[in-house]
Amino acid sequence: DFGRQNLFFVAKCDKGEPGLEGRPGDPGMKGDEGMCPDTCESSKGEKGQTGLPGPGDTGDAGAPGTPDKGDQGDQGDQGSVGDKGSQGEKGDMGLMGQRGLPGPCMPAIQSSFSVGLTENFPPPNTPVIFSRVFNNVQGHFNTSSGLYTAPINGTYVFSYHLSVYRRILKVGLFHNFFPVVRTTNIQELGTTSHQLVLHLARGDRVWLQVKDETTNGMSALSESSSTFSGFLLHPDRFIIGLQQMLSLMNKSHPATIRC
């Protein structure tokens, strides 16, 4: 019994430390060669690195292409008209143009004359004849009768500059047989002049006239001239307004209005 109890006591002792690792075992024998089953398929391997250039030489360059230009193709059909663009902004005002010529229904009303005496001591009680013409483009002054005839209602300017020689000069400017102004020069050698503005109606006449044979000292010397001049300053406003109205009517109805 004592021995049994002692053994039993030994079985109750603590676990010891692990032992040292043993050496590796010897390699086993080569196994049998395996067999590929019926369903075995090969798989593609990875791409290898680029190989080195071959030993051959580089070839010669090819011949250049032909330089000839090809023929021009046929013109294509015209495209359709595009849509109308939007209206642009208003531009700046341009410079004022030159004044145009008078229109056909509003002719420029002009009248002027300037004439000179050619004979000394004109006769009295009749218009003085001024036969030397300096300006009479419109022909409103009659060199044969010495009369100026107004072509239109308006305001006119008249002037005279007369040389006096040997006799007294008494001269008047007449408007339709009425002496409007008179001038007297008692010197036997000198000059006299006058200027005035008159309103005339169409057809009115204006002229110069000396008083008598003892006071007709008007001369036409080579060194001293006697002249008579006049011109239309402006026509009456009614005449201008009428012409403007006719001009507008002609633009509105060119087929019915004739100028």
Residues 156 and 195: their CA atoms lie apart, in Å, by 11
> Which of 24-33, 38-47, 51-60 has the highest mean predicted lDDT (pLDDT)?
24-33
The CA–CA distances, whole Å, from 18 to 13, 15, 78, 257 equal: 16, 9, 105, 144
Query: Average pLDDT in the 241-247 region?
Result: 57
* Tokens standing for residue 70: 């090809």
Average pLDDT over residues 157-166: 96
User: Is pLDDT larger for residue 36 or for residue 178?
Assistant: 178
Judge whether 147 and 141 are in contact, CB under 8 Å.
yes
The SS3 of residue 251 is helix
DSSP single-letter state for residue 149: E
pLDDT band for 40, please (50, 70, 90 cuts): low
Inform me whether the pLDDT recorded for 61 exceeds 70.
Answer: yes
pLDDT confidence of residue 187: 87
Q: Which range, 38-47, 70-79, 173-182, 232-241, has the best average confidence (pLDDT)?
A: 173-182
**pLDDT value at residue 149:** 98
CB 182 within 8 A of CB 174: no
% of the chain with per-residue pLDDT over 90: 46
Across the range 102-120, mean pLDDT stands at 81
**Domain coordinates of the chain in residue numbers?**
112-240
Is residue 163 within 8 A of residue 218, CB to CB? The reply is yes
Fold of 112-240: Jelly Rolls (2.60.120)
Task: Please tell me which residue, 189 or 54, carries the higher pLDDT value.
Answer: 189
3-state secondary structure of 26: coil
The pLDDT of residue 20 is: 81
Q: How far apart are CA 160 and CA 163, in angstroms?
A: 10
End-to-end Cα distance, the chain: 174
pLDDT score recorded for residue 68: 74
pLDDT confidence of residue 152: 96
